[in-house]
Amino acid sequence: GYGPGMHHLDPFASDPVLFTITGANSAKYKDRLSPGQLALLAAHPDYRMPVYPTHRSAATPRSVYDATRANAVTAHLEPNGQGVRDAIGGVPFPIPQNGEEAIWNHLLRYRGRSVERTILQAAPAQDGSYTPVKFNEVVLFNYYLPGMTADSLNNVAFYFRQRIEEPRRLAGSVLLVHETLDLTKDPRRAWIYSVGRRTVRSASRFAYDNPGTAADGLRTSDQFDMFNGAIDRYNWVLEGKREMYVPYNSYRLDNGNLKYSEILMPLHLNQDLARYELHRVWVVEADLKPGMSHIYPKRVFYIDEDSWQILGVDHYDAKGQLWRVSEAHPIEYYEVPAFSSTVEVHYDLQADRYIAVGLSNEEEPCRFDVKTSREEFLPSSLAADGAR
């Protein structure tokens, strides 16, 4: 029943809830939960995790699998893990040997070749009230373009342009990012057009632990997409695989008949709309290198073995205490096909608040057939884009 331009229909709508994890019974399931999940269950008596049958629905085009197979014997990390070489068009390290390779798999996972989406970001106060921030985003995944080679990338993995549409006081500001593949040659390049100043300037602050755009201080820049940007501030340790209850096939949260007010509850997302399944994930621990700074000295990532989408992150503060917990609720965009998050949620345990990023229920569905080119991601185009 799905057709172009529709929100995605749930292919697993008839699945029963196998059981529901709550704070009261979480000890029974603790071996398959993260410390962050256990903390959320303990913090909120009405927080629950409905568990459904497992479906390994993550899929990509055959060309991506073929490229991944080729990359498996050619791809290499640059010194200190600060880049990838001799890889193109697929996951670079399908059999990761270390944490750097695993996190690069997330950074370079397949999400289509080009996409445009309008999404909502909301940071509800404890009473549930919030000021919506609406973004229009266009991404060109240079790394996955047909005919692209490792030599012709010009060291750009993908181009990203984000324009704020709401609220009015911020509308028209535009962020442009050229995400590089080899950081030893060229770090991330970013620019911002400020509608108030009507100027384009370098935007180096959109990285690492600088505050996320209009995020009310509830997430860092590198928490967008669960993790993005340079990996040089951490030592990355691959802890291996484990089976966990993780968000998966979250079509209920992508339902176009829902209003944002039905999803955004005080203190946490409406968990009746969430779906968890038992899946194998790679566990990667990131610990801050000596002499480096970040508000999260330690982070633990839980990465889907099939798609390399990060599904969960536990973030720790300088005292070693669990501070924030992130979850990505993904779906298979079966018309592409590509597997990616439809909404990500970052919970702040100390502030007892959260921020949700990526909601599109009341917007037009994301488009994976958008016509764009590298010329549209030049800094000189920012002022015109902001004036639209």
The pLDDT tens digits for 305-320 are 999 999 999 999 999 9
Q: What Rg do the C-alpha atoms of the chain give, in angstroms?
A: 20
* Residue 163 neighbours by CB distance under 10 Å: 22
The mean-pLDDT minimum among 51-60, 64-73, 233-242, 366-375 falls in 366-375
**Band of the pLDDT at 79, cuts 50, 70, 90?**
confident
CA-to-CA separations, 181 to 105, 113, 226, in angstroms, rounded: 12, 16, 18
Q: Is the dihedral of CA 227, 124, 266, 269 positive or negative?
A: negative
Burial of 5 (0-12, 13-18, 19+ CB in 10 A): exposed
**SS3 of 228-251:** CCCCCCEEEEEEEEEEEEEECCCH
Q: What pLDDT sits at residue 196?
A: 76
Residue 197 has pLDDT above 80, yes or no: no
Phi and psi at residue 261, to the nearest 5°: -65, -20
Query: pTM higher than 0.75 for the full model?
Result: yes
Mean pLDDT of 139-162: 95
Burial of 321 (0-12, 13-18, 19+ CB in 10 A): exposed
Q: What pLDDT sits at residue 195?
A: 80
* Residue 9 neighbours by CB distance under 10 Å: 14
Residue 385 has pLDDT above 70, yes or no: no
Mean pLDDT of 362-367: 96
Residue 194 has pLDDT above 90, yes or no: no
Residue 386 has pLDDT above 60, yes or no: no
**Band of the pLDDT at 380, cuts 50, 70, 90?**
confident
